[in-house]
Amino acid sequence: MNTEFKDPANKQSFAGRGHGRRDNSLKKLLFECVSFILISAGFWFVLYILIKAESPEHYFVFFIFIQIAAFLFFSTYASAVIAVLSTLVAAAAFITGSDGVKVFAALAVLIYWAIICFLNMYENRETESCGRNKLLLENMQGAIAELETALKSGAKLIPALKKGIASYEKMAEFSLKLGTTFSLKDISMFIIKFTRSIFQEAEVKLIKQAGDACDRWVYSSQKPVYIENTAMDYRFDLHNSGDASSIIACPVFNGENIQSIIKVIGRQGGLLPSDLRVLTLIATLSSLAVENVKLFETTQNLAITDDLTGLYNHSYFMERLAEEISRASRHGEEFVFLMLDIDHFKKFNDDFGHQAGDEVIRRVALGIIQTIRNTDIVGRYGGEEFSVILPRTDLKRGLVIARHITEMVKKERFNFDGKYAGVTVTVGLSSFQDYREEDKIITAADEALYEGKKKGRDRVVARGSLK
C-alpha cells in the first residue's frame, strides 16, 4: 500500500530529488531578491543624481537600462512600473528644468514607452509561440502514446505472424509435393504428415468412412465444420470424441464426391477459427491434387487404351507382352498368347453398316473381359482382331479359355433395326514354352489363326506341344 516506505532505495531517491528541488527554489528566490535590491538601488541612485546634477538629461538613459534589466530578471509588469516612475521623474525634470532638459525629458518618455510597447509585443509573440509549441508537443506526446500502444499491440502479434508465415511457407512446400505426386496413397500420406506438422498439439485423422455424427454431417453437406467446444455444442452426438475440446473437419473432394475428410481434434486448448481457414486451405490443395491424379490417370488411360473398346491399344499391349516375356524368363514361368478375329466381319459391315460393326466390336471386347481372369491382359490388336495374354497358364489350359471365349461370342445376339444376327470368332494360340521370343510367339499365334480360318472359322487352333 505504501510502496515508498517498502523500498528504502526509492525512499532515499525521492527524498533526494525533493531536497534538490527545494534548494533550487531557494537559490532562485535569493537571486531574484538580490536583483530586485540592486535594480531598486540603481533606480534611486540615478534619481538622486538627476535631482542633484546640473545636467540631469545625461542620466535619463540609465532608466532605459533599468527597464530592460527589470524585464530580463522579472517581467514586463516590473519594467512598466519602472517606466511609470521614470516618466514621473522625467515629468519633474521637464517642469523644473531648462529647455534642453525638457527636450531630453520628452524624448526619454517616448523612448521609455516605446521600449515597453516593444517588450509587450515581444512577450505576446513569445507567448503565442510557446502556446503553439506546447500544443504541438501535446499532440506529439499523444501520437507517441498511440504509437507505443500500436507497437505493443504489434509486438503481441509478431509471434502469431511468425507462426502464420512459417505455416504458409510449409503450405507452399506441401503444394509443390502434391503437384508432383500422382498416387492417391502418397497424397494421403503427405496430407497426414503435413497436417500433423501444422497442428502439433492436436490429433489428426484422415477419415475414409464416416465414424460419427460430425463425419456424417460433413459427408452429407459437403462443407467443413468447426466445433469450438464439444461440451457446449449440441448439434452432434460425439460420444466417440472422448474428452475433445474442439474439432475441425474439412472434406477432400474427388470431383463432386468426397474422397476423404481431414479431421483435427484438439484435446489441450481449443482450436481457433483461424485454424479452420488453414485446414480449409490444406483440404483445397489436397482436392486439387486428387483432381490432378484423376486427370493424370484419365490422360494415361487415353494414351494406352482404345477409344472404341476401352481395351489396351496395340502399342501398349506390345509393351505388356515384352514385360510378360521378360518376367516369365526370369522366374521360369509360362504363358499363352491368343489372337482372335471376328469371322466375316466385312460382310457384317456391308449388311448392317459400320455403326453396327462398331457395336459388335464393343460387345465382343466386353465378352472377352467377362470371360478371362482379372490377371489376364487383353488388347485390340487392330480392326476386328484382339489379342490376349494368359500369364502362368500352359497351352492346355489356354485352349479351355479360348473355347469359352468362342462359345460366349457365339451365344451373343445382336438386334439392328429389327434384324437379328450373331457372329463367331476364330482363335489362334501359341505358348511361351515353345516360342520364347516376341516375334516367334506372335507369328505362331497368327499362323494358327490363319489355319483356323482355312478350316472353316469358328474354331480354336494351337501351335505348340500339349503336356
Could you tell me the pLDDT band of residue 407, with boundaries at 50, 70 and 90?
A: very high
User: What is the per-residue pLDDT for 77?
Assistant: 65
End-to-end distance of the chain based on CA atoms, in angstroms?
109
What is the pLDDT averaged over residues 122-144? 82
User: What is the per-residue pLDDT for 386?
Assistant: 96
User: What is the per-residue pLDDT for 212?
Assistant: 83
Length of the chain: 467
User: What is the per-residue pLDDT for 245?
Assistant: 78
Give the separation between CA 108 and CA 87, rounded to whole angstroms.
8
Could you tell me the pLDDT band of residue 174, with boundaries at 50, 70 and 90?
A: confident
- Same domain assignment for residues 108 and 243: no
Q: Label residue 108 exposed, middle or buried (CB < 10 Å: 0-12, 13-18, 19+).
A: buried
User: What is the per-residue pLDDT for 18?
Assistant: 53
Q: In the annotation, is 54 catalytic? A: no
Selection from 398, 394, 391 nearest residue 339 by Cα: 398
- Same domain assignment for residues 412 and 391: yes
**Which grid cell is 214?**
460430425
Coil, strand or helix at 266: strand
- Same domain assignment for residues 7 and 128: yes
The answer to whether residue 157 is domain-embedded is: no
- Same domain assignment for residues 433 and 331: yes
Give the separation between CA 399 and CA 136, rounded to whole angstroms.
105
Q: Which of 206-220, 365-379, 387-401 has the lowest mean pLDDT?
A: 206-220
Q: Is the pLDDT of residue 19 over 60?
A: no
The answer to whether residue 165 is domain-embedded is: no
- Same domain assignment for residues 362 and 385: yes
For the chain, what is the mean pLDDT?
Answer: 81
The answer to whether residue 150 is domain-embedded is: no
Look at the alpha carbons of 430, 431, 434, 440 in this order and tell me if their dihedral is positive or negative. Answer: positive
In percent, how much of the chain has pLDDT > 70?
Answer: 78
Q: Which domain holds residue 250?
A: 184-302
Could you tell me the pLDDT band of residue 39, with boundaries at 50, 70 and 90?
A: low
Give the separation between CA 133 and CA 135, rounded to whole angstroms.
5
Decide which of 125, 143, 161 is a domain's last residue.
143
**Which grid cell is 373?**
481372369
**Looking up cell 494351337, which residue turns up?**
462
- Same domain assignment for residues 322 and 355: yes
- Same domain assignment for residues 14 and 85: yes
User: What is the per-residue pLDDT for 9?
Assistant: 46
The answer to whether residue 162 is domain-embedded is: no
User: What is the per-residue pLDDT for 365?
Assistant: 95
The β-bridge relationship of strands 460-463 and 385-391 is: unpaired
Q: Among the options 57, 334, 384, 385, which is catalytic?
A: 384
Q: Is the pLDDT of residue 21 over 60?
A: no
Q: Label residue 457 exposed, middle or buried (CB < 10 Å: 0-12, 13-18, 19+).
A: middle
How many domains are there within the chain?
Answer: 3
Selection from 264, 258, 275 nearest residue 219 by Cα: 258
Query: Could you tell me which residues come within 8 angstroms of residue 303 by beta carbon, excluding any fewer than 6 positions away?
Result: 316
- Same domain assignment for residues 283 and 219: yes
- Say which residue, 54 or 449, is predicted with more confidence: 449
Q: Is the pLDDT of residue 61 over 80?
A: no
Q: Is the pLDDT of residue 249 over 60?
A: yes
Could you tell me the pLDDT band of residue 198, with boundaries at 50, 70 and 90?
A: confident
Could you tell me the pLDDT band of residue 330, with boundaries at 50, 70 and 90?
A: very high
- Same domain assignment for residues 32 and 120: yes
The answer to whether residue 100 is domain-embedded is: yes
The CATH number linked to 239 is 3.30.450.40
**pTM recorded for the entire structure:** 0.51
The answer to whether residue 125 is domain-embedded is: yes
Top-confidence range, 50-59, 240-249, 358-367: 358-367
Decide which of 263, 281, 302 is a domain's last residue.
302
Selection from 230, 225, 217, 211 nearest residue 270 by Cα: 230
User: What is the per-residue pLDDT for 2?
Assistant: 42
User: What is the per-residue pLDDT for 6?
Assistant: 43
Q: Is the pLDDT of residue 3 over 60?
A: no
The answer to whether residue 325 is domain-embedded is: yes
What is the pLDDT averaged over residues 374-384? 94
Could you tell me the pLDDT band of residue 11, with boundaries at 50, 70 and 90?
A: very low
In percent, how much of the chain has pLDDT > 90?
Answer: 34
- Say which residue, 165 or 192, is predicted with more confidence: 192
Could you tell me the pLDDT band of residue 129, with boundaries at 50, 70 and 90?
A: confident
Which whole-number Å values give the CA distances from 145 to 137, 142, 148, 151, 437, in the listed order? 12, 5, 5, 10, 89
pLDDT in tens, 274-313: 889 889 999 998 998 888 888 888 787 778 899 899 999 9
- Same domain assignment for residues 16 and 127: yes
- Same domain assignment for residues 193 and 216: yes
The answer to whether residue 172 is domain-embedded is: no
- Same domain assignment for residues 257 and 385: no
User: What is the per-residue pLDDT for 99?
Assistant: 62
Q: Using alpha carbons only, what angle is made at residue 410 by residues 404 and 412, rounded to the nearest 5 degrees?
A: 105
- Say which residue, 106 or 213, is predicted with more confidence: 213
Decide which of 112, 143, 174 is a domain's last residue.
143
Q: Is the pLDDT of residue 179 over 50?
A: yes
The CATH number linked to 369 is 3.30.70.270
